[in-house]
Amino acid sequence: MSMRDGFVRPGRSAGLTDVVRRRYLLSLLVRKETRVRYRGSVLGWLWSYVRPLTQFIVFFLALGIFLQQNQRIENYAIYLFSGLIVINFFNEAFGNGTRSIVDNAHLIKKIYLPRELFPVSSSLVALVNLVPQIVVLLVACLVVGWRPTLLEVACVLFGLVIVFTFAIGLSLLFGSVNVPFRDAQNFVELIALVATWASPVLYDWRLAHEVLPGWLSVIYQLNPLTAAVQFFHLGFWYPTSSREASFPDDLLLYGLVALGISLAVLALGQLVFRRLEGRFAQDL
């Protein structure tokens, strides 16, 4: 047996496979980020409730009351909040993941560890922060008579897988590009601004299909965020309604394609990340 058997060249990454192998490091990063996030804050974890609730109140007053969406969409408050938490999760995971390499420059320049740990841990922290929002949503749903089927609960999990995969893929892509070109995080802010309006969070999905031409309507529906929001609506809002609401006929097909797109973005993000990570320490 060779003396070098079982050893690997230092600094050579196996990509996301290394993240799985080093789960302990990943858990340490997640715990560190969750503890540091609200350190020195008076409200602490309460900000996980305050921010989404404030956003919900603003949109509900502006759209639900003033523009009368509350009369057009049954249980509009549930409809709105179940869509908002998807977008909030995506924006937080994507935004923090893009900045994660630059924000952890002190670690990257001193020791070697799989760089993918940082974008992935940022997405997991966003997932942790999603839990309080889902708790609030569940309480509201139960109050208005939430009685989901097992299939509808599965739709929520499927939507979460889509948006989580999509966010990690974009975080790897933009996070690696953001090291040599800091303009990348400005593009992320623009994407986050558009994301809320480019999916049926604030309005009925049928409005987009009535306004958009056929081919653009298909592209709109294939947006992974659109599919994720609709699966959350199907799992949380639909069981609280009179079940007369409509969804796209091919929602499952659109969802599978959206998952495929998310996986493709993940593969692209990993490819670009591995191409650029060799210069991270130097560029930082």
Q: pLDDT digit of tens for each residue in the chain (284 aa)?
A: 444 555 555 555 667 787 778 778 888 888 877 777 666 555 556 666 777 788 888 888 888 888 888 888 888 999 999 999 999 999 999 998 888 888 888 777 777 778 888 899 999 999 988 988 898 899 989 998 888 889 999 999 999 999 999 999 999 999 888 888 877 778 888 888 888 888 999 888 888 888 888 788 888 999 999 999 999 999 999 998 887 777 888 899 999 999 999 999 999 999 999 888 877 766 66
Three-state secondary structure call for residue 146: coil
> Is 7 a member of any domain?
no
> Is 10 a member of any domain?
no
Domain that holds residue 214: 16-283
> Is 135 a member of any domain?
yes
| Predicted TM-score of the model (pTM) | 0.88
> Is 189 a member of any domain?
yes
> Is 2 a member of any domain?
no
In whole angstroms, what is the distance from residue 71 CA to residue 258 CA?
Answer: 31
In whole angstroms, what is the distance from residue 244 CA to residue 146 CA?
Answer: 15
Q: How many domains does the chain have?
A: 1
In whole angstroms, what is the distance from residue 219 CA to residue 258 CA?
Answer: 10
Closest CA to 63 of 203, 246, 229, 195: 203
> Is 3 a member of any domain?
no
Give the rounded distance of the alpha carbon of 166 from its chain centre: 7
| Alpha helix (H) residue ranges in 38-149 | 47-59, 69-72, 76-103, 105-108, 117-143
> Is 1 a member of any domain?
no
